[in-house]
Chain A
Amino acid sequence: MLRTKELTKTVNSQGQGLTILSDVSLTVNEQDTVAIVGVSGSGKSTLLSLLAGLDLPTSGEVHLAEEPLHQLDEDQRAAVRSQHVGFVFQSFHLLPGLSALENVMLPIELKEQKRAKERATELLEKVGLKERLQHYPNQLSGGEQQRVAIARAFASEPKILFADEPTGNLDSENGDKISDLLFDLNKQLGTTLVLVTHDNRLAERCQRIVRLEGGKVVADEASKAVLDKTAEL
C-alpha cells in the first residue's frame, strides 16, 4: 500500500543544510495500522507530509497505492490524494465557510462520486452528529469538530488514512471517544491507518509502532498490544 525507500529530507536553515529525515525505508501493507512516534523535532510530521505527498523528499522514493509520489507534480499528487487518501489533523482544519455536512461532502465531490449528500449524512450519523448537519465549524465544540473531520476523512472511502495527532487538541474523555471512533471506522471500512502521535495509549492501539529519533527510524516493531495478543496465543 505504502512504500518508501531511503527517504531523506534536507532543508536550508541559516545557510546550512539541516537534515530532518535521513534514509527512512518503510513498507505499510493494506489494512495495517501504524503509529509514528518520537519526541518533538524528531521528524514525525515531516515524514507524514512526505508520505501523503504534501511535500517532496530531497532524495529517496515514496510509492503510495503504486503511484511514485516523488515523481509527480503537485496536481498529480492532488489527484492521488483525492483517489486514495484521507486526513485527520490535530487542529481539525474544517473549512470554516462550509457546514458540517458540506465539509464531509467535499472529498466525495472532489472525487466526483455520486450520492455525496446521502453518504455524508450517513457518516455524520455514524459519528453521532445527526443533529448537527447544518452547523458551521464555529458553532461546534472541539470534539464535535474532530468528529466531523473524521467523517470527512472516511467520506471518500480512502484506502489510506493519515492522522496527525488526532487527539492532541482534545481532553482525555473526548480524545478517547475520537480514537474509538477512528479505530472502529477503520476496522469497518478496512482502511490502512498511519498516525503520528505523542500519545502512547493511542499508539498502543496500532499494530505497529515506528519510532523516530533525529530523523532516523530507531525502532519498527509490533506494538505491545499485538505482542500481548501474540503472547496469549
Chain B
Amino acid sequence: MIPGSFDYHRPQSVSEAVGLLKDKGDEAFIVAGGHSLIPMMKLRMSTPEHLIDIQDIAEIKNISIFGSDVTIGAFVTQAEIISSEALHGICPVLREASLQIADPQIRNVGTIGGNVANGDPGNDMPAIMQALDATFVLAGEEGTREVKARDFYEAAYFTARAETEMLTLIKFTAPAAGHGSCYMKQKRKIGDYATAAAVVILTMNGTTVQNVEIALTNVADTPLYAEEANRLLIGTSLDDASIKAAVEAAKAITDPADDGRGPKDFRTHIAGVMVERAIRQAATTAS
C-alpha cells in the first residue's frame, strides 16, 4: 500500500514546527513515531499534503524530574519511558503500562506524545495521564497553553488540541511516596489494544484509603476518569463491599463499542474485572 504524496519537513524547533502548522493549515500533520498515522495514510484515510517530522526538536526529547515534578517531552518514546530508572523510581505505573503497548519495534519509535495526543480510545497512556492528573502543554502561534488530561479528550480522535497547535510537554506531580499502582489490561493477544483496561493509583494511610485515582482505557470513545469510584473508595479499608461498590460505579460510566474485542456488555464486564484486579494489585504495592 502506497500513501498519497506529501512534502516532508523536519523542523529544528517547536517554533519552527508551529510556524509550519500555521502556514500549511489543515493540510499539515505532525508525525512522531508514525505508527498510528502511517497505516491511516496507506489506507488513504489520511492524506496530509505536508508531514512535519518532529524528531530533531531537542526540547521535546527529555524526561526531567525535580523532586516530585515530572516533565516528559512529547517525543520521548515508550522504550525510553521503560528504560528510565528515575521515572520508574517515582512513578512505576508508566513502565508497567509501556511494556504492555504493542511490541519492541513499535515501542522504539512510538512516543508518549503521539499516544496521548492522537485521541485514539485504544491508546493506553491517556487514562494513566488522567489518573495522574497530568497537564498537557500545547504550543501554538500565540505561545503555549496548558490543558488538563481530564479535560483534553472530547470524542474519538477529537481533543482540545487545535489543528495549529502541537503537544510539546506532559507535566505531572508524581504520586506520594509509598503509593501503590497498577495498570491492568485485558487484551486478545500480546501487543493488542485493550478489550478493557484500568489504572489505579492508591495511597494508603495505615489500613485506610487516603486517596485513589482510577481511570479506564478503551471502554468509551474517550478515556474515562472514574470520579465516583474514587469517591466510594476513599476512607474505606478496601473491604470487599467497598471494592464492589467502586467496581459498579466504574462499570456504570463505560460505554464501549461492540467490536472484534467483544460485545458491549462483555467489555463493560471486563472493565469491572480489570478495576477490581488493579485495586487489589495496587494495594499489595502500597505502603
The yes or no verdict on A and B being binding partners is no
Q: Which residues of A contact B (CB under 8 A)?
A: none
Q: Which residues of B contact A (CB under 8 A)?
A: none
